Structure 1
Amino acid sequence: MKSILNGRNPLFGVGLYNQRGITGLETAIVLIAFVVVAAVFAFAVITTGLFSSEKAAESASAGLGEASTTLTPKGAVVARANPALSSLSTVQFKMTNSGSAPVGLDPLSTLLTYTDTGNLVTLTRSASPTGIGETSPWWYSEWKLGTGNSLDSGEVVEITVGFFSTTDSGTTTSEGAVFSSTDTTLTVADGSVFAANDIIYLENEQMTITGIALNDLTVTRGDNGTTASAHADGLSIYDLDANQSISVPTNEPFKVELIPAQGAPFTVTRTSPVEITQIMDLG
């Protein structure tokens, strides 16, 4: 009994007072270490998850931005034949921006191409809706709703693709007043430069000369789908060139592709072989 009380086990001969256990303080330190390590790992996982979510959100936003710049057709595509009905004269179509981001249509950075079975050409940007002085196929843009060189949401632009050109006749109107939209006798400064059946342009209106009496031209108004309108006095008169820059049969399948500075291209395709007679809605 005395040996036990003195800290010795009579069976094993080992002193109990020499055995050390884990104290409460040491246990607390170990637990705190585990908690700290777990917190670090948890922070790393959460941070990685947030970073991945942010990148996913950025990718989704970029996709939405790209989709929002899509150009969509507005109304019909209209083709016009030349007076001899031997070739296409123009193709016109309207576009709108159904998204939220503007689509740049600056003439210097917008590319238009025309393709058919015999032609593949890059169109030249004309400063005139009648292709004045152009010697190759051209295009022209006119804002029907909105202004500027970018197509904002809801705005509408009309694109004209032309396969003809006009030249300055060298003379001007000489009415002494406004040439009204219903007047069929056009007085010019020099009528000798014209001949019967000549096709002329006064601003955006096409007319055909049916008779000449000195400087008075008898004309038909608003030919080939153009609009008869009033014109100020002293304007230059342009002749329609007899030879087109390229010949496009009126039953020719074709494709016009517009590639803006940013956003997806816009394509107009004609696959129907139905012959175009003067003016035709291609749908």
Structure 2
Amino acid sequence: MVDDKHNGIPFAVIEARERHEGVYTDANGYFAFSGDTAIIRTLAVFCMGYEEQVLHTATLPADSLTIQLRPKATTLRAVQVKPREGKVRNGILGRSKRKLSKDGDLFRKYGAETAILLTADTGQYDATLRDVYVYITGEGAPTSYFRVHVYEYDSLPGREVTDSNVVVHARKGNSWVRVDLRSKYIPVGKGLFVSVEWVSGFGNTMSALASEQHAEVVGFNGQVVGITADYGKPSCTYSRAPFSDQWEYYDDPAAQRKGGYFLNPMIYCTYTYIK
């Protein structure tokens, strides 16, 4: 998989839409995919920041091919810029790492995505997203890659506002990963959904890992995000299965947890505003 300059596109998606199955390219844009063309008639190929391409399997070569994706033209909303006096202030979406304690582990499968709603209290001030922080535990393969998405505030994750392929990884387990999104100029509004998508599993395949801490967990593929009960119910979490468009609650909001709260991934954000 390459871009218009023939550079490999890391962690793009090749999905068999008829079966809701697929694979990701590796860090260099390479991938391997096999299937019965009598069942799988089309492949959807896409990545954040690029136009989606649909391929008909009957026309594809049996051995290898190179797929080139075109950059997506991004239409920005009209913004009226006015000079403002005041000091630049910093705020937190969710809670900072000083206030988040790890209560468990979020084991997910290759291709799955988990999003948390982080509400803001910005008052009358315009705010812009700065950094996203994700806590990666020492379980599994902590240095494998994940993609970060930001969605508009809605009853479910709404329109995606990240316009490029934001893929990161931890250098070691039991540490916070900082993702700098200042260049995206994402408005915070009354809050945002922030998600992590597992794009690099154990060997970048569907092979499964087993937990060293929890014997009953045997079906995850890569890094493990910490979960916490320190968020209140407004910070609800949704997830979707690999190569699915349907969001569902990760943890039932009616479930009784510590202090009446339920479990959420350990993710928080910082933002800036002028006061």
Higher helix fraction (1 or 2) = 1
- TM bin, normalised by shorter chain, reads under 0.3
TM-score by length of 1: 0.20
Q: Whose relative contact order is higher, 1 or 2, with alpha carbons under 8 Å and at least 6 apart?
A: 2
Please identify the structure whose Cα radius of gyration is greater. Answer: 1
TM-score by length of 2: 0.21
